[in-house]
Every structure is written in structure tokens, then in C-alpha cells.
Amino acid sequence: NDGGSYIGSMAQRCGGVGRNHADALTRLGCDVNFISVVGNDDSGDYLLRKSSHINLNHMTRLPNVPTATYLSINVKGNIQHGFSSIEENISKLTSDLIRSKEDLFCDADYILIDGNTPVETLRNITDLAQAHHKNVWFDPADLAKVQKVFMAKNISHISVISPNAYEFMNYCTLLGIPLPEQLLTNSDAMLDFCNSLGPQLKALFPGQLSLILLTLGNAGILALQRHESSIEIVPWPAPQLSQALLVSPSGAGDCFNAGFLTAYLKNLSFHDCLRIGTECAKLSLMSIDAVPNTITSQLLGT
């Protein structure tokens, strides 16, 4: 914070929570329709060129709108600061644009939304998914954006959420279940807390929500799954990776989700879904790219 210049390394790469999921799902062999907007500028050219393996037929390119960009400052493999310039771009992802793509909802197995989506657009997406009897996966993307599904009054239409620890804390607060901050990086303490909720644990699952995939960084994953009459809590370890091999955490959670979802759609066991998701996250952690080309369908044995 002293205004000085420091030696480091810099890299440009494609990102964005929705794009990362589309990228990883595509690399894993899924048929993906990616709906988004991009500016008609140099950054847009770069993104489209680097994402050419993804189905971009439903990307809308807009003149006079800058492509969404994000700058992260990483220190020893962890994000120290992040700065984003996305709002002008994201605001163009309108309800009218989504409604024009309604035919894509008919054949989808899952609708995946990230928390950058405007509230009104998010409401329209979940309404369309509900109308076509489709499951919805919501990734908050940021702790402040968890509230969007509550603002849109459509939390009851969400099937899966995948928050990190701080996003989960905000989610619990919005549901009236205060979560002590000291639990956020301790999987055993988080497990004990969830178990201590007793009957109140069901309050974490409003509407048709059936799965919470809670990522706790180095402490691993806590998967909370609702069955007909019970809530199952499954702790899962973080990828085993030495500090020397850790390159960047950006995109690791998105890759985990993509691996888990792909395995789920192939009817693999719940533990296999967690295992494959973890393998995808590990490959992301070892790469400067949010979604590396080492993520392939071979991870699923296909």
C-alpha cells in the first residue's frame, strides 16, 4: 500500500464464472450452449479466439460496450485483491435476450447461472427453467451476489448452489442462521456446526434445493445433500498438491463444479462425482489458465 513497484509476473487469460463453467464442461465432453455478451473490442477478440472450442453461437457481440474484465493480484498462489470492470457489459444480458433463447431450455439437462447475472434476468431464467421442468445450478460468484436469488424471489426454483465459505456465510445469514466466521476454513468445525443445527439444518434447503457444495479452500469440500427425509453431510478432502505446484486458484471452483456435474449427468456415484470434481480443480490449481487443456473427458474414463 505504499505506491511502490514490485517485481512479478503477468498473464492474460480468459475467465468469468459462466465462461469457465462452459469451457470446462465442453472439455469434459458435454454439449454446452453458452449464453453471454461480449464487447466488440480487443479483449472481445482475445476471448472469442481463445474460446473457439466452446459453442459460441449464442454469444451476443455488442458495439460500444467494453468486454468484461477482471484483474487479480495473487501473492503466493492466493488472491490478495481483485478488481472488476463488468457491470456495463453484464447489464446487457437482459431478460429479452434470454427469452429469445427459450428453445435452448427445452433440451437442456441443467441450467447453470452465475451470480453476475442481473436480478431481473436471473428471475426470467429460473422462470423459464421452471416452465420447462429443468434443474437450475446457481454459483454465487461473489459473497455480495448471494442475495440475488433472494431479491429475485426464486430461491425455491434452485436445485444446486455452490458457494465458497464466505458466500455460504452470507447465504446462512439471509436464511436467519448466523454462521460464526471462525468456522470458514475448518471443515471439521463446519461439519460440527451443521450437525449442531439439528432440525434447523433443513432450513438451509428452501424450495426444491437438494444439494449444497460448499468449498472451503485448503479444508476441502463439504457436500450437504437433501434426501426425502434426511440431510446427508459428506466431507471431502482438498486436492493433494504441494505449494511448489500451486500456480493459481482462479477457476478451480468452477472446474470442480464442471467435473462434478458432468459425472452426475453420467449417473456416476456421488463419491465419484466428488472425486472427478476434485481432479478437475487440481488441474486448474496447477495452471495459469482458469480452465487448462489438461481437463479432458478421459478424466471420466471416456
Render 196-261 in DSSP notation, one character per residue. Answer: HTGGGGGGGS-TT--EEEEE-GGG-EEEEEE-SS-EEEEEEPPP---GGG----TTHHHHHHHHHH
Once rounded to an integer, what is the mean pLDDT over residues 73-92?
A: 84
Confidence label for 241 from pLDDT (cuts 50, 70 and 90): confident
Query: Above 80 in pLDDT, residue 52?
Result: yes
The 8-class DSSP code of residue 32 comes to -
Going through the chain in order, the beta strands assigned E by DSSP cover 36-39, 59-62, 69-75, 78-85, 110-114, 135-139, 160-161, 211-215, 221-226, 231-236
Q: For residue range 187-238, what is the model confidence (pLDDT) as tens digits?
A: 888 888 888 888 889 999 999 999 999 999 888 999 999 998 899 999 999 9
pLDDT at 181: 79
Please state, in angstroms and rounded to a whole number, the distance separating the CA atoms of residues 282 and 52: 24
Least confident range from 27-31, 74-78, 207-211, 248-252: namely 74-78
Please state, in angstroms and rounded to a whole number, the distance separating the CA atoms of residues 93 and 97: 7
Letter string b/e over residues 256-280, b meaning 16 or more CB atoms within 10 A of that residue's CB: bbbbbbbbbebebeeebbbbbbbbb
pTM above 0.75, yes or no: yes
Which amino acid does the sequence have at 256?
F
pLDDT at 243: 80
Residues in the chain, total: 302
Please state, in angstroms and rounded to a whole number, the distance separating the CA atoms of residues 296 and 280: 9
Once rounded to an integer, what is the mean pLDDT over residues 174-184?
A: 84
Q: What is the mean pLDDT of the chain?
A: 91
Q: For residue range 85-114, what is the model confidence (pLDDT) as tens digits?
A: 998 999 999 999 999 999 999 989 999 999
Which amino acid does the sequence have at 252?
A
The topology (CATH level 3) of 17-35+95-300 is: UDP-N-acetylmuramoyl-L-alanine:D-glutamate ligase (3.40.1190)
Please state, in angstroms and rounded to a whole number, the distance separating the CA atoms of residues 251 and 282: 10
Query: Above 80 in pLDDT, residue 184?
Result: no
Which residues face 12 on adjacent strands? none
Q: Which residue has the cell 462425482?
A: 273
Query: Above 90 in pLDDT, residue 302?
Result: no
Q: For residue range 248-294, what is the model confidence (pLDDT) as tens digits?
A: 888 999 999 999 999 999 999 999 999 999 999 999 999 999 999 99
